[in-house]
Amino acid sequence: MSQEAGLAFPSRAGSNVGAMTTNDSGSAPKPVAKDPWDLPDVSGLTVGVLGGTGPQGRGLAYRFARAGQKVIIGSRAAERAQAAAGELGLGVEGADNADCARRSDVVIVAVPWDGHAKTLESLREELAGKLVIDCVNPLGFDKQGAYALKPEEGSAAEQAAALLPDSRVTAAFHHLSAVLLQDEAIEEIDTDVLVLGEVRADTDLVQALAGRIPGMRGIFAGRLRNAHQVESLVANLISVNRRYKAHAGLRTTDV
Ligand SMILES: NC(=O)c1ccc[n+]([C@@H]2O[C@H](COP(=O)([O-])OP(=O)(O)OC[C@H]3O[C@@H](n4cnc5c(N)ncnc54)[C@H](OP(=O)(O)O)[C@@H]3O)[C@@H](O)[C@H]2O)c1
């Protein structure tokens, strides 16, 4: 049997949580794999969004606030963030990026790739100890459409991890349509959210956060060294959207 075919898949939701089993010889009990759907309660966390005045950040801020999360929009200029927050309502606050990072438990990075490194370098101190979620897609555009750039560090997420050694860096929310996120008439966002990171407690938390938005489901999708494919896939989704006049999302089957 190939290694891939022989992978032990974890149990489906709700089964075997916390159970113990014995090996074939009946000796030492070993814990059963943790239920992948046993996710933490994140409802009390404050979510900050760097670059939250743009369509993606604003859309995420809106959805999390609508789900009951405390949200702070960040901007290079506090007044722009406050204006955006005022438009959203729902208790959303606005601050400059540094203040947003300082006051949030979880910080989503939603700035353009061009400003990614500089923004994170400047916020290293404020982001220390924080859970950072990078949703940046390094893309280029030409007459043929969108294409994936190849960051020196491997991906935007790995660049974030390199620049923020004292933060807990994860990657998620790359494949969302900002148009759908911001459309108040849309109740549910029909998509999975691929979540990457090095530490299970952190990726579980991000999955739980994704699950706060009706219709969304967070799925663990590997470590940050595999973030490049996930970020790059957006170039394909943009092609899908252009051909079919759609706002395509993603679903992972059999999970
Ligand atoms: N749009 C989407 O559908 C979508 C979906 C998934 C992921 N993403 C990713 O999310 C990120 C944000 O996307 P977006 O479309 O919202 O981008 P955007 O509108 O171009 O930028 C977002 C905000 O970032 C700030 N910003 C602009 N240039 C900056 C720079 N050089 N340095 C620091 N901050 C800067 C601006 O806010 P202030 O001027 O107020 O500081 C701007 O409003 C991108 O990396 C994108 O790949 C986008």
Backbone angles phi, psi at 22, to 5 degrees: -115, 155
Quote the longest CA-to-CA distance of the chain: 67
Q: Is 167 in the pocket of ligand 1 (CB under 6 A)?
A: no
Taking alpha carbons only, the member of 91, 116, 94 closest to residue 48 is: 94
At 17 the pLDDT is 42
- Coil, strand or helix: which one is 207? helix
Backbone angles phi, psi at 217, to 5 degrees: -140, 130
Kindly list the distances between the CA atom of residue 73 and the CA atoms of 76, 78, 91, 147, in Å, as whole numbers in the listed order: 11, 9, 11, 29
Kindly list the distances between the CA atom of residue 4 and the CA atoms of 181, 205, 245, 251, 252, in Å, as whole numbers in the listed order: 36, 27, 37, 21, 18
At 32 the pLDDT is 83
Kindly list the distances between the CA atom of residue 184 and the CA atoms of 68, 71, 178, 209, in Å, as whole numbers in the listed order: 15, 17, 12, 19
What residues of the chain score a pLDDT lower than 50? 1-22
Domain boundaries, the chain: 46-244
Contacts of residue 120, defined as CB under 8 A and 6 or more positions apart, other chains included, come to: 109, 127, 159, 160, 163, 164
Cα of 51 vs centre of ligand 1, distance in Å, is 6
Q: How far apart are CA 13 and CA 38, in angstroms?
A: 8
Q: Where are the alpha helices (DSSP H) in 89-138?
A: 97-103, 113-122
CA of 97, closest atom in ligand 1 = 41
Span 86-145, pLDDT tens digits: 999 999 999 999 999 999 999 999 999 999 999 999 999 999 999 999 999 999 999 999
Question: Do the bridges between strand 46-50 and strand 106-109 make them parallel or antiparallel, or are there none, so unpaired?
Answer: parallel
Q: Is 177 in the pocket of ligand 1 (CB under 6 A)?
A: yes
Taking the model in full, what pTM does it have? 0.92
CATH topology of domain 46-244: Rossmann fold (3.40.50)
* Angle CA 147–131–123, to nearest 5: 75
Tokens at residue 15, please? 């089964």
Cα of 116 vs centre of ligand 1, distance in Å, is 9
> In this structure, which residue's CA is closest to atom 37 in ligand 1?
51
